[in-house]
């Protein structure tokens, strides 16, 4: 009974009331209703946990997601949010376990595959990461394959394979990618493969569409040095120092790493 009373308190915000129903032996309708109520409570607590995580309230988010899993341990989105939260907290072993549980429960979820791929890449498990990204961007029903392609490209870059990274970034652009990561990835990969003039052109395309970040300015400065464009180098250094004085890129500039 206490579990059902807890359920009432959880869903009271979204419902006008809640009536407890006894678990009677052999009463299939009652059992089915109980299961449905637990799933609803798991859904609500998962949504709350995701919201608290976005707001940076990580302790409350963890309380909500643990409650969601207690209500319904078979609810894949709860394990997905749990994994993302654990990853954010730096609890990598537990995050890996939570991702694996979520994938076992919902192996066709491309958002999940994309996020799991990002986690695996961060752990240096590049082969499995690329398998997850592939599962996402090859899904014909996935609405944003370009995100998985960009993440795949970044992972290839991290692994030191600039040619594959460039291919993935270009494929993302072919898919209609609008996020800055695709163009920035192309520029950086071209620079790393020794195609400095092409990298400079890609950076100009980036600058015509997106506002600079500290990271993009670091790439722009490296490109300016490679092509010998002193005026662009001066401008980019001024912007980096002015907008992002505390960034790692600005610190590297002050120490001579980006001059």
Map out the domains of the chain as residue ranges.
178-258
Closest CA to 82 of 119, 121, 33: 119
pLDDT given for residue 30 in this prediction: 60
Phi, psi of 107 (to 5 degrees): -70, -10
Work out the burial of residue 4: count CB atoms within 10 Å of its CB; fewer than 13 is exposed, 13-18 middle, 19 or more buried: middle
Burial call 82-102: b when 16+ CB within 10 Å, e when fewer: bbbbbbeeeeeeebbebbebb
Residue 127 has pLDDT above 70, yes or no: yes
Quote the DSSP letter at residue 16.
S
Summarised one tens digit per residue, pLDDT across range 86-109 is 999 999 999 999 999 999 999 999
Alpha helix positions (H), 21-161 = 28-54, 58-71, 76-88, 92-105, 110-122, 126-137, 145-158
- Name the fold adopted by 178-258: 1.25.40
pLDDT given for residue 254 in this prediction: 86
As a whole number of angstroms, the distance between CA 164 and CA 28 comes to: 55
Summarised one tens digit per residue, pLDDT across range 28-82 is 566 566 667 899 999 999 999 999 999 999 999 999 999 999 999 999 999 999 9
Closest CA to 117 of 144, 152, 147: 152
pTM over 0.85: no
Summarised one tens digit per residue, pLDDT across range 205-244 is 999 999 999 999 999 999 999 999 999 999 999 999 999 9
Quote the DSSP letter at residue 29.
H
Closest CA to 116 of 139, 138, 87, 144: 87
């Amino acid at each position: 009974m206490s579990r059902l009373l807890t359920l009432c308190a959880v869903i009271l915000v979204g419902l006008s009331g809640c009536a407890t129903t006894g678990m009677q032996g052999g009463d299939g309708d009652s059992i089915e209703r109980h299961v449905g109520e637990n799933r609803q409570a798991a859904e609500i607590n998962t949504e709350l946990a995701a919201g608290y995580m976005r707001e940076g309230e990580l302790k409350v988010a963890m309380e909500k997601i643990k409650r969601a899993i207690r209500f319904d341990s078979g609810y894949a989105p709860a394990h997905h949010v749990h994994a993302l939260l654990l990853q954010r907290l730096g609890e990598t072993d537990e995050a890996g376990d939570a991702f694996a549980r979520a994938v076992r429960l919902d192996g066709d979820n491309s958002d999940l595959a994309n996020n799991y791929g990002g986690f695996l890449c961060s752990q240096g498990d590049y082969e499995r990461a690329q398998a997850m990204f592939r599962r996402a961007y090859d899904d014909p029903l996935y609405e944003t394959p370009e995100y998985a392609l960009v993440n795949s490209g970044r992972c290839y870059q991290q692994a030191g394979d600039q040619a594959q990274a460039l291919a993935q970034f270009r494929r993302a652009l072919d898919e209609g990618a609008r996020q800055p990561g695709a163009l920035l990835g192309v520029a950086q990969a071209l620079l790393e493969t020794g195609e400095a003039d092409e990298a400079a052109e890609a950076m100009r395309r980036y600058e015509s569409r997106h506002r600079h970040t500290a990271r993009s300015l670091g790439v722009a400065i490296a490109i300016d040095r490679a092509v010998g464009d002193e005026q662009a180098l001066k401008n980019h250094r001024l912007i980096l120092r002015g907008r992002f004085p505390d960034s790692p890129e600005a610190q590297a500039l002050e120490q001579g790493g980006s001059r």
